[in-house]
């Protein structure tokens, strides 16, 4: 039991530190003139990612099931191209259609940011089977589908970057959000596997980044819920 506890503590502390130091000492990538597609970019963290990309001169494509008019408005002040597609990124056919549609305005997609996600703070018994299925489709399937759809062109070009937003709950399970943790563990595992695949295939021009955020104030509904539970 003690050994298991030490293993969990080591995972929670060492793994995030590894990614922090790796990011700190790695070379800064120039993204000016590149094109990034961000899922779930209409609000919250996704919107902030879009803004930060634009600040660095990166063209931004937003893929979201919700309207991204607010994000597009905030991107107007930057000298970049931006466009939003209303698409369900958990549906592979819709992603393929979007990929065809965006070819008219964007030569290629250099960066994929898999940010779309659902955070239901419910116990396993409070969630319906439909809610659980939808959660896994949005949190996991969209990450796999978006990567599958856009990485082939990156391999042809010999360059690209796949970024996925996992969570600290993707390396440490919390009892109040079992299904969310399971989906984020899967995202973390997928990204680790993808990194190893690219290494074994010697596809060194394609980078991967898996980000593990903690609780953020970008989602007012989640903050209000957590305040109620205090």
User: Catalytic positions, please?
Assistant: 180
Q: Return the beta strands (E) in the chain as ranges.
A: 35-39, 59-64, 82-86, 111-114, 160-165, 206-211
User: How far is residue 143's CA from residue 118's CA, in Å, rounded to a whole number?
Assistant: 13
CB 205 within 8 A of CB 188: no
User: How far is residue 42's CA from residue 35's CA, in Å, rounded to a whole number?
Assistant: 17
CA 11 → CA 130, 150, 210, 214, distances in Å? 32, 31, 15, 15
Q: Residue 47 in 3-state DSSP?
A: helix
Q: How many residues does the chain have?
A: 230
């Amino acid at each position: 039991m003690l050994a298991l506890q030490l293993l969990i503590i080591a995972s929670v502390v060492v793994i995030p530190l590894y990614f922090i130091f790796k990011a700190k000492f790695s070379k800064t990538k120039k993204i000016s003139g590149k094109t990034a597609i961000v899922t779930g970019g209409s609000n919250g963290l996704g919107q902030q990612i879009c803004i930060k990309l634009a600040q660095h001169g990166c063209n931004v494509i937003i893929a979201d099931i919700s309207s991204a008019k607010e994000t597009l408005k905030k991107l107007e002040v930057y000298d970049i191209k931006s466009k939003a597609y209303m698409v369900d990124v958990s549906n592979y056919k819709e992603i393929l259609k979007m990929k065809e549609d965006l070819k008219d305005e964007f030569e290629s997609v250099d960066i994929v940011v898999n940010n779309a996600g659902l955070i239901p703070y419910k116990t396993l018994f409070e969630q319906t089977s439909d809610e659980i299925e939808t959660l896994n489709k949005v949190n996991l399937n969209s990450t796999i589908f978006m990567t599958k759809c856009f990485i082939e062109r990156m391999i042809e070009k010999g360059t690209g970057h796949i970024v996925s937003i996992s969570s600290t709950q993707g390396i440490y399970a919390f009892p109040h959000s079992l299904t969310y943790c399971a989906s984020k563990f899967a995202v973390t595992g997928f990204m680790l596997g993808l990194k190893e695949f690219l290494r074994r295939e010697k596809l060194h021009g394609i980078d991967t980044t898996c980000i593990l955020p903690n609780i953020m104030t970008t989602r007012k509904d989640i903050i209000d819920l957590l305040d109620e539970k205090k």
